[in-house]
Amino acid sequence: MLLKWFAHTWASSNLRKEEARTQRLLSQYDSEKAAADRRIATRKSDYQHKIKERQEMRDRELGEYIQFMNSRLQAASNYMPKLDQFQTFTFTCVDSWMKVDLIQQEIDIYKKKIEAIFSTIGLIDAYISELTNLSQRQGRHVWREMIAERPLTVSNAYVDKTKRNVDRGSKLSNDEFRNELKRLQSHRDALHQEVKVLLDERKALHASKDEVELVHNANKQTLDTLYNDCRDHWNEILKGFESYYANTTTEHEYVNQWLSNLKEGGTLKEITEVINTSHEIIKCAQEIYDGIKDDFEGYREIIQTARRTGEYPSNYSSIKACYDKLLPIAKDRGALMASRRFLYGRRDELRGYIEKLKLLHPDEVLDSLYALLSEEREVNTWRAFGINTYKQRIAYRNKQKGDQHAAAN
């Protein structure tokens, strides 16, 4: 009986202890569940508040964006008549330039004709001199030997005919020799007269060129005025796009901090500079995070597993404390990277606007005309328009560098 009583008492005592422990665990789990429910409810409320704030902010940004785009469209609409006027006048300028260019081509042809005739006169003078020197029989013999040893390098119908006559003349009498000299001198005088006529005609062409060039220079000045006016208006539209996000706040603390002290409040150029500066900052933050990454991710995995399964290790509080200590480092790195991504987005958005806007730059008009005019031969755009576009200036500098490199080698 005593043994039975002892066993019953021991069993009852252990049962009560186990029930008490179970109740404590259940109470603990209920408390943790209640705490988790409160955290979820708080987080849900917080998320709802943030979503509402973000939605309101996006609605506000969308309204500002629409207003901005409308203002840019209005500015572009005001700009288009100026661009049309500039484009129309480029054809006037091309027409006057083609008149100048056509006359210049004629002048160049006259120059070549005159040079060719003077070259022929020089040959005739040489023949006359040789015939005079070879008027004696011995001289004529020397002429035949000279021609045999050193053939003439210039050949055309007249030169060949004259050579045959000189060869034949070496056998002629002195009278015939003098007749041949007179014939050469007569032809030379005729060529001199022809040159005189060509020079007079070329002089008249130069006078005509001066007249049309005077008109063309006036057209170039007018075109330059229209170009500068278009460029100034285009730059104003460009500044509007470049400074679209200037002096605006964001949901990223680092972005606000980086842009707050900028001179123009965050133009495209300044955003690009901030991005370049942020690389080193993020690199340092990444190096710090790499030093705690394994521990941090290990603590996070334990906490997530415990919350998912409801089985909390005995050192959970210590692990949570270590996790909370490292969490700001990870958050700081994440905030920095998110801020840079945000700026990348703004930069690319503004660049997209500007790429489309470039199609309205007056340079596009001139570059298109230059490509058209250069299909058959190279065109000097400065003479044609009095303006060198950005693309042409770059091409000229690259050509100079190439020439310098070739000269150095």
User: Per residue in 223-249, pLDDT tens?
Assistant: 999 999 999 999 998 998 888 888 888
Q: Are 119 and 195 in contact (CB under 8 A)?
A: no
Is residue 31 pLDDT above 90, yes or no?
no
Cβ proximity of 384 and 361 under 8 Å = no
What's the pLDDT at 135?
Answer: 61
Tens of pLDDT, residue by residue over 280-295, are 999 999 999 999 999 9
Q: Which long-range contacts (CB under 8 A, 24 or more apart) does 323-328 make?
A: 323/296, 323/299, 326/292, 326/295, 326/296, 326/299, 327/296
Residue 374 has pLDDT above 60, yes or no: yes
Residues of the chain with pLDDT > 90, as a percent, come to 37
Percent of the chain with pLDDT over 70: 73
Confidence (pLDDT) at 138: 45
What is the pLDDT, as a whole number, of residue 382? 83
Residue 169 buriedness (CB in 10 A; 0-12 / 13-18 / 19+):
buried
Packing angle, helices 174-242 and 157-169, rounded to 10: 160
Can you list the positions of beta strands (E) in 37-85?
A: none
Q: What is the pLDDT of residue 393?
A: 84
**DSSP state, 359?**
G
> Is the separation of the CB atoms in 103 and 216 below 8 Å?
no
- To 5 degrees, how large is the angle CA 123–CA 105–CA 367? 140
Question: What is the average pLDDT across 219-223?
Answer: 95
Instruction: Say if residue 386's pLDDT is above 80.
Output: yes
- 69 membership: H or E segment, kind and range: helix 2-133
Say how far apart CA 276 and CA 340 lie, in whole Å.
10
The pLDDT assigned to 261 comes to: 84
Cα–Cα distance measured from residue 48 to residue 44, given in angstroms and rounded to the nearest whole number: 6
Mean pLDDT score, 354-373: 88
- pLDDT tens for 346-359 read 999 999 988 988 88
Q: Degrees (nearest 5) of the Cα angle 87, 91, 95?
A: 160
Pairwise pLDDT comparison (17 vs 202), residue with the higher score: 202
pLDDT value at residue 44 = 64
The answer for residues whose C-beta is within 8 angstroms of residue 163's C-beta and 6 or more apart is: 147, 152
Q: 214 pLDDT exceeds 50?
A: yes
pLDDT digits (tens, 9 = 90+) for 125-175: 888 887 777 665 444 555 555 555 555 555 556 556 665 665 655 555 556
The string over 192-230, giving b where at least 16 C-beta atoms fall within 10 Å of a residue's C-beta and e elsewhere, is eeebeeeeeebeebeeebeebbeebeebbeebeebbebb
> Do residues 21 and 27 touch, judged by C-beta distance below 8 A?
no
Q: What is the mean pLDDT of residues 292-315?
A: 89
What whole-number distance in Å separates Cα of residue 144 and Cα of residue 123? 18
What tokens appear for 292 in the block? 């705690």
* pLDDT at 177 exceeding the cut of 80: no
Which 3 state secondary structure label does DSSP give 244? Answer: coil
Nearest-5° angle of CA 9, CA 12, CA 18?
140
Burial class (CB in 10 A: 0-12, 13-18, 19+), 96: buried
Tokens encoding 24: 């404590």
d(CA 136, CA 229): 80
What is the amino acid identity at position 364? E
Q: Which residues of 51-74 are buried (b: 16+ CB within 10 A; e: fewer)?
A: eeeeeeeeeeeeeeeeeeeeebee
Indicate the average pLDDT of the chain: 81
DSSP 8-state code for residue 374: T
Evaluate whether 272 touches 349 at the Cβ level (below 8 Å). no
> How far is residue 369's CA from residue 384's CA, in Å, rounded to a whole number?
10
- DSSP string across 196-225: HHHHHHHHHHHHHHHHHHHHHHHHHHHHHH
- Of the pLDDT bands very low, low, confident and very high (cuts 50, 70, 90), residue 340 is very high
Tens-place pLDDT, residues 38-71: 766 776 676 567 667 666 766 676 676 567 667 7
